[in-house]
Amino acid sequence: MDKSALSVCVPACAAVLAAFTAAAPAQPPALAALRVYGEVQRERGGEPAVLNEGEAAHSGDRLRTGVVGHVGLQLAPAGNLMLGAESELWVHSLEPGDPPSHAGLARLVLVQGTLRADARAQPPLPPADLRINVGALRLRVFGADAWIGRASDGDEVCVLAGAVELQTPEGPQRLDTPGHCLRAGRGGLQPFDATADGTLAVRLAHTAFPGDPAARIPGAAPWRPTPSVAARAADSQPAPSATVGVAWTIVLASLPDASRAEQEARRLRAIAADARVVAAPRDGGGITYRVVSGHYASKAAAAADLRVLRAQHGLARAWIAPLP
């Protein structure tokens, strides 16, 4: 090739290469396990295995911790998660960042237990974008720091820094004052200040590694949702109707045997991340074991998710029932 042809080709080829590189799809990020303490498992494709430091969780994985298990995860280059003991996190999907808007997008489901989600970043890095489902609550933690807890009798979200946007059965909510929390339980949505009542430090202890300053609270019991003073006062009043104060759930299956119900719950977790087994009294006496999903403050909120389950996943026999 003569020099004139080469002089034409070089800029043209460079432009083609640049266009090809720009069009190449970015690789999805992973959640790297930076710290692991105690029993931590990663389930991938239905196969559980021990999660070790330096390994990563990808889209579709489930992470479970034991009684003293903790795991610290990083969504590179920004975004940190701390999963507390006796917890389960479903990594629904991980998507590459779209600079300069965010460093990475993670869609997560807290099935049970406690989670601290820190999506902050130091400039010039953009913040992470964490979308987290906990029961009937849908959170967006974008450039913020939040603590999240999920248990059978209620779910809680506390903002530690920045602002957290929530979609709830009662409409959109926003938490933007450090220490302020929202609880979704049997009495509906109840805001409270965990700093004022002295319980924020106790919550943080359950998502901190043993030995860390935040974990040094002697005798801290396993976390359970604690209603606010206003909620306790409301609970002490007689309900004006049989449906006020009732928590609702979606029943996916009902079986007479507990072990069969647990097997069905494991199968259905591919569709409903928080599928779990609850015992309920059977008409005429005895116990039935229901596989249920969700914890809703209103029957209407449960009905909205029920329509999705029936339309998209063929669960035509699912129905709504009060939580026992």
Distance of CA 177 to the CA centre of its chain: 21
Query: 276-290, pLDDT tens digit by residue?
Result: 888 877 766 678 888
DSSP state of 212: S
Q: Which of 235, 261, 280 is the last residue of a domain?
A: 235
- How far apart are alpha carbons 47 and 32 in whole angstroms? 19
Pair (193, 277) in one structural domain = no
At 53, list the tokens: 């430091």
Pair (164, 212) in one structural domain = yes
Pair (158, 206) in one structural domain = yes
User: What average pLDDT does the segment 138-151 reach?
Assistant: 93
Query: 159-201, pLDDT tens digit by residue?
Result: 999 999 999 988 899 999 999 999 998 778 999 999 988 889 8
Pair (219, 252) in one structural domain = no
Pair (144, 288) in one structural domain = no
Pair (201, 277) in one structural domain = no
At 203, list the tokens: 């919550």
* 138 found inside a domain: yes
Write the CB contacts of 291 (distance below 8 Å, at least 6 apart in sequence): 251, 252, 253, 254, 255, 261, 264, 265, 268, 275, 276, 277
Task: Give the chain's domain count.
Answer: 2
Query: Residue 277: what pLDDT?
Result: 84
* 5 found inside a domain: no
Verdict on whether the full-model pTM lies above 0.75: no
* 26 found inside a domain: no
Pair (140, 267) in one structural domain = no
**Is the pLDDT at 93 greater than 80, yes or no?**
yes
**Is the pLDDT at 139 greater than 90, yes or no?**
yes
* 73 found inside a domain: yes
Q: Which of 167, 202, 235 is the last residue of a domain?
A: 235
User: If we measure between CA atoms, which residue out of 169, 98, 179 comes closest to residue 133?
Assistant: 169
Pair (215, 274) in one structural domain = no
* 240 found inside a domain: no
* 114 found inside a domain: yes
User: What average pLDDT does the segment 214-233 reach?
Assistant: 52
Domain that includes residue 163, residue range = 31-235
Pair (180, 222) in one structural domain = yes
Task: Map tokens 């040094």 to a residue.
Answer: 216
Q: Which of 235, 263, 295 is the last residue of a domain?
A: 235
* 98 found inside a domain: yes
Query: 28-70, pLDDT tens digit by residue?
Result: 678 999 999 988 999 998 888 999 999 999 999 999 998 778 9
* 192 found inside a domain: yes
Pair (124, 167) in one structural domain = yes
